[in-house]
Structure 1
Amino acid sequence: MAIVTKTELDGILPLIARGKVRDIYEVNDTTLLFVATDRISAYDVIMNNAIPDKGILLTKLSEFWFHYLDKDIRNHLVSLENGQTIWDHLPKELCENSKYREQLENRSLLVRKFKLIPLEVIVRGYITGSAWKEYKTQGTVHGVKQDDTEMKESQQFPTPIFTPSTKAEQGEHDENISIEQAEQLIGKELCGRVNDIAIKLYTKCRDYALTHGIIIADTKFEFGIDETTDEIVLVDEVLTPDSSRFWNGANYTVGTTQDSYDKQFLRDWLTTNKLNGVDGVTMPQDIVTSTRAKYIEAFEALTGDHWNPK
């Protein structure tokens, strides 16, 4: 299938936002079209080239998790019944023109609009990445002193921890904030609800993934709120290699870095070549190929399905 780095719908639907990965269009007053492109970013910078099929992988994996969690939390997917597809809800000009179908097929979600809760809701089950760097130098994780027992790299926390950050605009950097700052931003009661829900969802998915040979070291959730019912809603993407750290459970060893099925492979290459945070980076073909393969491995292990982009 064709690589999609940017969608162009020629004004048939209004473009609301173009993020690091997703192009978002307004379908009507209550509905949006989320299109996951093949763009990839690391250290808040979008690479020049893309990962083939990445947007389809992200979409299919998010759909899997939305359905897996639908008894635990409401999500923003529009319910498609009686054999309907998203094409039944989109303008004919898009449906009947192969130019548009090729851009949207298998990488699009029809979702309800909700008021976004302005937090990146990060749940950490294992100490790694920026949390490990902070702990090594300060003995804290997200500013919180850990137990006296010395932790090792990649060690599991006694219980998962909620480490919020701000939601940055395109081109800006997310900033870690304390629980107290998060409470000031969205209110203490809502922050407590978000904390509880996020850890519950992470724990359920972590336990499922372990039975499929994958460790979910950490992940980022995003939530909206239904202003008519005050219900918290799971939105955006869920437990993908873009938003999570996935490790190979069979090779897991405390005290070292882990084999991963996520963007860490790209991050490591950028860091090794002193390119982290640099604009205009073109990934070499071996990095593209290996990153795609890791995303597919994660998809197949977690869903139990053989990868087929069609």
Structure 2
Amino acid sequence: MTQGQSAPVGPAPELPGWRHVYSGKVREVYEAEAAAEGDDLADDAGTLLVVATDRVSAFDHILRPAIPGKGAMLTRLSRWWFAQLDAPNHLREPAGWDAGLDPDTAARAMRVAKLEMFPVECVVRGYLTGSGFAEYRDHGTVCGLALPAGLGDGDRLPQPLYTPAFKAQQGDHDENITFERTIGLIGEDAAVALRDASLQIFARASGIAESRGVILADTKFEFGVDPATGEITLGDEVLTSDSSRYWDAALYGDASAPLGVRLSSFDKQLVRDWLRDNWDGSGEPPELPAEVVERTVERYEELFDRLGVA
């Protein structure tokens, strides 16, 4: 683990039949233990169990306390979006499958194919904001791509931008890269396939969100190759509040509202904003106050209601 990143809170729980192989900022990953022929676990060969925790991270640090129920909410949201999208995904969950997990863990777990992941985060931006707006304000570009003059924070882009990033080792910052650099990393055919799939999925998801009064401002996708099929497959989480920026369409369209209200998002932006105001970035971040935790849970829950997540 790179120096400067907070360590995960506590050891990963032991799960019967599964061996822990990796701890991320907010997820624990397991693979099936070796099974004898005829054992039920034999069906889990080539699969992973991804368990979303309630941990919350910001600025490359894992924060305390956790956000109650966050892991289950993100898992439900990923499953819901996978069902809406016309794209191959890594879920491998036969009907009635629960891995013998306790109800709390099962609510936070996804059984997925073990993909050969591409070292690229596929970021799509439909609106100009955040780090993209900061670059545009200084240079007139977003990730090196020139944009028309005169755009403001929160403006809709003329067309969605595909701005890939190189996936850094845990604890380091991802690096924005050009499409040409992506070709150098994974080859032209794969680079084109990831770009086209990302833009197509973003367009589909944006339409679904807008029909429910929600704007999908930006998001990131991750893909890998499924060894069983050779197919490029959507993996990781998808379109969650941790990987995406969602806005209230009605508030966004209210020109009389302050910009901070119009761009208020259904995610952990409350956490980031509180940290910017209360931490200088040195040492360990302070503990989140109860009010910030409660309001963050409310924003996650409101997105579920708006989208109609079952």
Q: TM-score range by the shorter chain?
A: 0.7 to 0.9
Secondary structure of residue in 2 paired with 1:74: coil
2: CA distance, partners of 1:23 / 1:77: 16
1:157–1:248 Cα change, 3 Å: same
Letter in 1 for 2:221: F
What is the Cα deviation at residue 6 of structure 1? 5.7
Find 1:265's aligned residue among 264, 270, 275.
270
One-letter identity of the residue aligned with 1:120? E
Q: In the alignment, residue 58 of structure 1 is paired with which amino acid?
A: L
Flag as ranges the 4+ runs of structure 1 deviating above 4 A: 275-278
Structure 2: state its 5+ residue gaps. Answer: 1-8, 33-43
Scaled by the length of structure 2, the TM-score of the pair is: 0.87
Give the drift of 1:171: 1.4
Q: Structure 1 CA distance, aligned partners of 2:289 and 2:230?
A: 47
Aligned residue pairs: how many? 286
Q: For 1:183, what is the secondary structure of its paired residue?
A: helix
Q: Which runs of 5+ in 1 are unaligned?
A: 96-100, 306-310
Moved more, 155-164 or 267-276: 267-276
Percent of aligned positions with the same letter in both sequences?
Answer: 40
1:13-36 deviation line (CA, Å, top 9, x unaligned): 221110011100002530110100
**Partner residue of 2:259 out of 256, 260, 266:** 256
Contact 2:48 2:113 survives alignment (8 Å): yes
Contact 1:46/1:279 (<8 A) preserved? no
CA contact (8 A) 1:222 1:234 kept: yes
Structure 2 match to 1:85: 97
Deviation at 1:214, TM superposition (A): 0.8
Are residues 209 and 109 of structure 1, via their aligned partners in 2, closer, same or farther at CA, if it must alter by over 3 Å?
Answer: same
- Return the TM-score normalized by structure 1: 0.87
**Counterpart in the other structure of 1:26:** 31
Preserved CA contact (<8 Å) 2:98 2:106 = no
Match of 1:293 among 298, 302, 307: 298
Query: Partners of 1:139 and 1:285 in 2: how far apart?
Result: 40
Aligned in 2, Cα 1:134/1:207: closer, same or farther, shift over 3 Å?
Answer: same
Partner of 2:154: 154
What residue number does 2:4 align with? none
1:145-184 equivalences under 5 Å are 145-147=146-148, 149-184=149-184
Q: Secondary structure at the residue paired with 1:120?
A: strand
Task: Give, in angstroms, the shift of residue 105 of structure 1.
Answer: 2.8
Match of 1:63 in 2: 79
